[in-house]
Every structure is written in structure tokens, then in C-alpha cells.
Structure 1
Amino acid sequence: MRTEAAKRVELVFSLFDANGNGVIDSDDFDLMTGRVLEAAAASDDGAKDALRAAFRRYWTTLAAELDADGDGVITVDEFRPFVLDPARFGDTIAEFAEALSALGDPDGDGLIERPLFVSLMTAIGFEEANVHALFDAFGPDSEDRVTVATWSAGIKDYYAPDLAGIPGDQLVAARAL
């Protein structure tokens, strides 16, 4: 696993631990889902339902694969190797990527405007400066938009253990305040 991928996973774990108790559990996914859906007020019910389903699948996949003792929590040590295994987790990531990127396109034109992108990503918990850097790395058009396909592909790349130098690395980069 590349160092860059390990840093991306550590960040995702910290974000998924939405209640800050040091482990990931079902309540964390409920909290994050609520925050993201609140940021996506203009999205239609179908897109919101797809995101709810994607977050629910994310949790149920983690719980089924990692919670061997049935205690209902996932530690960072349990999370790290699993989430970077495309054979075990690729379909779940793909569903999540499609749902989140579609949520960012409430008018259905295939484009995501920066303000909504920033709102959704900060609702997940990413630092705003890093979110702007990510959006810039995606190469927005002259009207400051990126395609749904670009964002979806970027999410999938974020979880690839062998990739470095990808736009998603902007999310873990230290930014000056």
C-alpha cells in the first residue's frame, strides 16, 4: 500500500467516526448521512434515497466483513486493510461514488458547481481549503463546474491502494490557515 493511500484511509476513518468516539459504528453513518442530506436540500428524493442506501451499504459491508466479534464497532486497525481492498470493497465504493456525485447534480445537467461540491464535502467533514484544492485539481470548466463523472472517478481513485498523485490527495494535504 502506498503511503498516500494510507493517509487517505486514515482521514476517511476519522471522518466516518462522526461522533468522535474512536471507532466507527452505525450511529456514525446515520450522523454523516444526515449532515450530507442537509447540505443537499435541492436534490431530489431519488438522489437522497440513493445516498442513504449507499451509506447504509457502506456500514453493512464494513460490519459484515470486519465486526467478527459482533460488538457493533470497527477500529482503525480493522478498517485500514479492508477499505483498500478493491476485491472486497470495490462495489460498495462504486455505489457510494455514484450516489454522492449524483447528489451534487440536482439539476441533472451532468455538472457540479463549486458551492454545492464544497457544501457536500464539508458536510462529510473534509477541511474547506482542501475541498477547494480538490475541486481545482479536478480541472473545473470556465463556469467553475466539474462533471459528475469526474467526481465519481475521483472518489473511486481515492480508495485505490496503488495510486498516488491523484486529485484526492489534496484532501490530506496540509493547508496554510
Structure 2
Amino acid sequence: MRTEAAKRVELVFSLFDANGNGVIDSDDFDLMTGRVLEAAAASDDGARAAVRAAFRRYWTTLATELDANGDGVITLDEFRPFVLDPERFGPTITEFAEALSTVGDPDRDGLIERPLFVSLMTAIGFEEANIHALFDAFAPDAEDRITVATWATGIEDYYAPDMAGIPGDHLVAARV
């Protein structure tokens, strides 16, 4: 596993620990889902339902694969190797990437405007300066938009254990 990938996973773990208790549990996913859906208020019911389902599948996959003792929580040590295993977690990430990027396109024109992108990523918990750096790394068009496909691919790349130098690395970079 590349160092960059390990840093990305540790950041995701800290963000998914939405209630800050040091572990990930179902309540964390409910909190995160609520925040994202609030930021995606302009999206249609289908897109919002897809995001809700993607977050639920993310949690269910983690709980099924990692919670061997049935205590309902996932630690960082349990989370780290699993989330970077494309064989075990790839389909869940693909569903999550498609749902999140689609909810960023409420007018269904295939493009995501910076303000909504920033709102959604802030709802997840990323730092605003890093969100802007990520958006810029996606090479927005002259009207400051990126494609849905670009964001979906960026999300999938973020979870790839062998990727480095990707736009998603901006999310873990210390901003000055």
C-alpha cells in the first residue's frame, strides 16, 4: 500500500467517525448521510435516495466484512486494510462514487458547479481549502464546472491502494 493511500484512508476514517468517538458505527453514517442530503437539497428524490442507499451499503459492507465480534463498531485498524482492497470493497466504492457525483448534478446536465461541490464535500467534513485544491486539480471548465464522470473517477481513485499523485491527494495535503 502506498503512503498516499494510507493517508487518504486515515482521513476518510476520521471523517466517517462523524460523532468523534474514535470508531465508526451506524450512527456515524446516519449523521453523514443527513449532512450530505441537506447539502443536496436541490437534487431530485431519486438522486437523494441513491445517496442514502450508497451510504447505507457502505456501512453494511463494513459491518458485514469487519465487525466479526458483532459489537457494531469499526476501528481504524479494522478499516484500513479492508477499504483499500478493490476485490472486497470495489463495488461499494463504485456505487458510492456514482451516487455522490450524481447528487452533485441536480440539473442533470452532466456538470457539477464549484459551490455545490464545496457544499457536499464540506458536509462530508473535508477542509475547504483542500476541497478547492481538489476541484482545481480536476481542471474545471471556463464556467468553473467539472463533469460528473470526473468526480466519480476521482472518488474511485481515492480508494485505490496503488495510486499516488492523484487529485484526491489534495484532500490530505496540509494547506497553508
Question: TM exceeds 0.5?
Answer: yes
Q: Output the TM-score relative to the length of structure 1.
A: 0.99
User: Cα distance, 1:21 vs. partner?
Assistant: 0.1
**Secondary structure of 2:175 counterpart:** coil
Partner of 2:47: 47
Partner of 1:149, secondary structure, is: helix
In structure 2, how many angstroms separate the alpha carbons of the residues matched to 1:11 and 1:44? 29
- Give the fraction of aligned pairs with identical amino acids, expressed as a percent: 88
> Residue 90 of structure 1 aligns to a residue in which SS?
helix
Separation (CA, whole Å) in 1 of partners of 2:174 and 2:122: 16
How far did residue 13 of structure 1 move?
Answer: 0.1
Provide the C-alpha distance between the structure 2 equivalents of 1:55 and 1:41, rounded to a whole number of angstroms: 17
* Corresponding position of 1:104: 104
**Runs (5+) with no aligned partner, structure 2:** none
How far has the Cα of 1:114 moved from its partner? Answer: 0.1
TM-score normalised by L of structure 2: 1.00
Query: Which residue in 1 is equivalent to 2:79?
Result: 79
2:121 is aligned to: 121
The residue matched to 2:107 in structure 1 has which SS? Answer: coil
User: Could you give the per-residue CA deviations for residues 129-158 of structure 1, whole angstroms, max 9, x where no partner exists?
Assistant: 000000000000000000000000000000
Secondary structure of the equivalent of 2:162?
Answer: coil
**In the TM superposition, what whole-angstrom CA distance separates every residue of 1:35-84 from its partner, at most 9, and x where no partner exists?**
00000110000000000000000000000000000000000000000000
Q: Quote how far apart the aligned CAs of 1:120 are.
A: 0.1
Which whole-Å CA distance do the structure 2 matches of 1:54 and 1:168 have between them?
A: 20
Whole-Å separation in 2 of the counterparts to 1:16 and 1:10 = 10
Cα distance between partner residues in 1 of 2:129 and 2:135? 10
Alignment pair present for 1:138 and 2:166: no
Q: For the residues of structure 2 that align with 1:126 and 1:80, how far apart are their CA atoms?
A: 19
What is the alpha-carbon distance in structure 2 between the residues aligned to residue 120 and residue 82 of structure 1? 25
Aligned residues: 176
Give the letter for the 1:44 counterpart. D
Tell me how large the CA RMSD over aligned residues is.
0.2
Partner secondary structure for residue 48 of structure 1: helix
SS of aligned partner of 2:146? strand
Structure 1: gaps spanning 5 or more residues:
none
Kindly report which structure 2 residues correspond to 1:52-71, keeping only aligned pairs within 5 A, or say none. 52-71=52-71
Cα separation, 1, equivalents of 2:41 and 2:65: 33
Which contiguous aligned blocks of 4+ residues in structure 1 show a shift greater than 6 angstroms?
Answer: none
Question: Match of 1:112, SS?
Answer: strand
